[in-house]
Amino acid sequence: MSRHTTHSLVHQTIQLDVGVGTIEGDLVLPEAEAGVVLFAHGSGSSRHSPRNRFVAESLNDAGFGTLLIDLLTMQEDRTDAITGIYRFDIRLLSDRLLLATQWLRRFEATHEFPIGYFGASTGGGAALVAAAERQDIAAVVSRGGRPDLAGDALRLVRSPTLLIVGGFDFPLFS
């Protein structure tokens, strides 16, 4: 059951061509938009994650637009579920996040709004790498993220960054 009560001006599914297929995202823009939060999901997750949808709805209620996007194509996701080949490919994930950021910058309804990243697990590492490359990212929040996967890019991040780690979070092993 959704607790989303904010009236939205835009609520649509978008598709972005990534050369080897398309990635999909769910864009919600409330009436009183304070900015847009772009979600970078972690390994084994998607834009349909109940946790990330709950966070997105809370942000929508607070006046923020959200774009929950799958960073892998459907075929890549199926392959990754079996092989794990893409889940730690931070360069690929951050490139997809940058592509979605460019789309938000070109989209008429969002081009002037601040953009923030919300990353989880490996998506947190990808969000940090993408933020290192775009100095216009308003903020980065990483929930249970993997800042270690950002490598040398971590020192280049200039955006305010919040790392959220739960007391019962356990390390991931590949």
pLDDT, tens digit (0-9, with 9 covering 90-100), for 115-155: 999 998 889 999 999 999 998 999 999 987 778 888 899 89
- Which amino acid, one-letter code, is at 122? T
- Residue 7 is predicted with a pLDDT of 55
For residue 50, name the pLDDT band (cuts at 50, 70, 90).
confident
- Residue 168 is predicted with a pLDDT of 63
Does residue 8 have a pLDDT over 90?
no
Domains of the chain, CATH where assigned: 8-164 (3.40.50.1820)
8 or 5, which is more confident?
8
pTM for this prediction: 0.87
Alpha helices, H only, the chain? 50-61, 74-83, 90-106, 122-133
Sheet bearing 115-120, strands edge to edge: 8-17, 22-30, 65-69, 36-40, 115-120, 137-143, 161-164
- Residue 1 is predicted with a pLDDT of 36
CA angle 163, 65, 126 (to 5 degrees): 40
pLDDT, tens digit (0-9, with 9 covering 90-100), for 89-114: 999 999 999 999 999 999 999 999 99
- Residue 59 is predicted with a pLDDT of 93
CA–CA distance from 2 to each of 24, 100, 113, 160 (Å)?
A: 21, 25, 26, 30
| Paired residues of 111 in beta bridges | none
Q: What is the percent of the chain with per-residue pLDDT over 90, rounded to a whole number?
A: 61
Q: Which of 128, 159, 158 has the alpha carbon at shortest distance from 142?
A: 128
The bridge status of strand 22-30 relative to strand 8-17 is: antiparallel
- Which amino acid, one-letter code, is at 138? A
User: How confident is the prediction for the chain on average, in pLDDT?
Assistant: 87
